[in-house]
Amino acid sequence: MADTTLDTPAVTRKPRRIRWETIGDHFVLILGSLLMILPPLLALTTASHDAVTIHREGIQLGLGDDLGKNFNAAMFEKGGFTQTVDGTLMLMNSFILGIGFAVGKIIISMMAAYAIVYFRLRFATLAFWVIFTTLLLPLEVRILPSYEAIQKLGLTNTYTGLIVPLIASATGTFFFRQFFMSVPEELAEAARIDGAGPWKFFIDILVPLSRTMIAAIFIIMFVFGWNQYLWPTLITTDESFFTLVRGIKQIVLTYTDSQIPEHGQALALAIVAMIPPVAIVIFFQNWFVKGLTESDK
């Protein structure tokens, strides 16, 4: 008796319906994915054609024969767009900006956040507000005076002038402050009883503890630094300091100027400008998402 009642549901189960709703969901998602992925992808296929084809016919769906040639020319030939630099140098400058900015920002903001959170300082609140006011005004708003300042300091066309002013904001400090606040109080107390002074606690406990956070913030800051455009445009006029993104302007001019139809090379360089930040975001997706959603809260 019990057996039959147990079996009934299986017997009378409705035949598997086609889940129209699920199919609809997937349809929307595939459409969205195509919207996001097609433009860069078509840029890549187009970059595999010779300049004349691109100039005449525009975007190419299929792969052509000139991919290697275009990338080669873009990376290693001087004077494609600029007279004195090749893509390799710009790539290197991009890495210097991305990594220099991310590392500098992490070090400086971690130290400041540690000082604010873990020390009994009379002026801690003041320091907090002095630092956090910078969150209010992005660099774009104060671009002109910042440029003047750099000029007065003679730091135009230097890596210092390129990187350091970008660090002058509190995003990283704010992020680490939030994280340090969430670290259990007892950890610092246990360390004190274990005889660790403030510096030792920072190096032995807090920094290793923040590894994931550091990774997450590094990714975000690297992408942010790499993608800087306005600031490098102003501060670097010497082509040997051009980053790839800064060079986009030259790429655009080349592309739109029909006198020098180096379209394939221009596209190849634009793609090179995309690859490192895109790769780091895709490969370290979880850290990146964590960093992004937790830092902006």
Partner 1 sequence: MAQVSLEGIRKVYPNGFKAVQTTSFTIQDGEFVVLVGPSGCGKSTLLRMIAGLEDITEGTLKIGDRVVNDVDPADRDIAMVFQNYALYPHMTVRKNIGYGLKNRGTPASEIAAKVEDAAKMLNLTEYLDRKPAQLSGGQRQRVAMGRAVVRDPALFLFDEPLSNLDAKLRNQMRIEIKALQRRLGTTAVYVTHDQVEAMTMADRIIVLNAGRIEQIGTPSEIYHNPASTFVASFMGAPPMNLIEAEASDGQVRLNGYDGLMPAPQAVSGPVTMGVRPEDVELDENGSVSFQVDILEELGAHRLLHGTLADQPFTVMVGKDHSVHTGETRITLKHDALRLFDVETGKVL
Partner 2 sequence: MKRAGFDTIWLPVALLLPQLMIIAIFFYWPAGWALQSSFFLQDPFGFGSTFVGADNYTSLLGNDQYKRIAWFTVVFSILVTFFSLAIALLLAVKADKVIRGARSYRTLLMWVYAIAPPVAGFLGILFFDQSTGPMTKFFGLFGWEFKLGVDYNATATAMIIVAVWKQIPVNFIFFLSGLQSIPRSVREAAMIDNRSSTRRFWDVTFPLLAPTAFFLLIINITYALFDTFGIIDALMKGEPGNNPMTLVYKVYLDGFRGNDLGGSSAQSVVLMALVLILTVFQFRLVERRIHYT
Q: Which does 5 bind (CB under 5 to 8 A by kind): partner 2, partner 1, none?
A: none
Burial 123-132 (b: 16+ CB within 10 A, else e): eeeeebeebe
Contacts 24+ apart (CB under 8 A), 8-13: none
Give, rounded to a whole angstrom, the gap between the first and last alpha carbons of the chain.
Answer: 59
Closer residue to partner 2 (CB): 85 or 188? 188
Which partner in partner 1, partner 2, none is near 236 (CB below 5 to 8 A by kind)? none
Binding of partner 1 at residue 124 (CB under 8 A)?
no
Does 140 engage in binding with partner 1 (CB under 8 A)?
no
Place of tokens 């290793």: 208
Angle formed at CA 202 by CA 196 and CA 207, multiple of 5 degrees: 135
Determine, following the binding rule CB under 8 A, whether residue 125 of this chain makes contact with partner 1.
no
DSSP state of 33: H
Which residues in 133-144 are b (16+ Cβ under 10 Å) and which e? ebeeeeeeeeee
Q: Which residue has the tokens 């020390």?
A: 119
* Maximum C-alpha span of the chain: 93
Q: Which of 96, 103, 143, 260 binds partner 2 (CB under 8 A)?
A: 143
Smallest distance, partner 2 to C-beta of residue 206, A = 11
For the bound state, the minimum distance from the C-beta of residue 201 to partner 2, rounded and expressed in Å, comes to: 8
| Sole window of 76-84, 85-93, 136-144, 204-212 interacting with partner 2 (rule: CB under 8 A) | 136-144
Binding mask 177-196 for partner 1 (x = CB under 8 A): -------x-xx-xxxxxxxx
CA–CA dist 289, 195 (Å, integer)? 37
Which of partner 1, partner 2, none binds 200 (CB below 5-8 Å, type-dependent)?
partner 1
Query: Residue from 67, 124, 143, 209 that binds partner 1 (CB under 8 A)?
Result: 209
Name which of 11 and 252 has its Cβ closer to partner 2: 252
Query: How many whole angstroms separate alpha carbon 214 and alpha carbon 219?
Result: 9
52: Cα within 13 Å, side-chain hemisphere: 0
Please, are residues 58 and 43 in contact by the beta-carbon 8 Å criterion? no
- CA torsion 237-239-243-246 (nearest 10°) is 50
> Is 26 a binder of partner 1 (CB under 8 A)?
no
Subset of 204-263 contacting partner 2 (CB under 8 A): 223, 226-230, 234, 245, 248-249, 251-253, 255-256
Query: Which of partner 1, partner 2, none does residue 29 bind (CB under 5 to 8 Å by kind)?
Result: partner 2
Distance between CA atoms of residues 159 and 115, nearest Å: 28
The residue within the footprint of partner 2, chosen from 67, 99, 103, 115 (CB under 8 A), is 115
Nearest distance from residue 250's CB to partner 1, in Å? 47
Contact stretch for partner 2 (CB under 8 A) within 4-12, 22-30, 77-85, 203-211: 22-30
Residue numbers of the site for partner 1 (CB under 8 A)?
A: 184, 186-187, 189-196, 200, 204-205, 208-209, 211
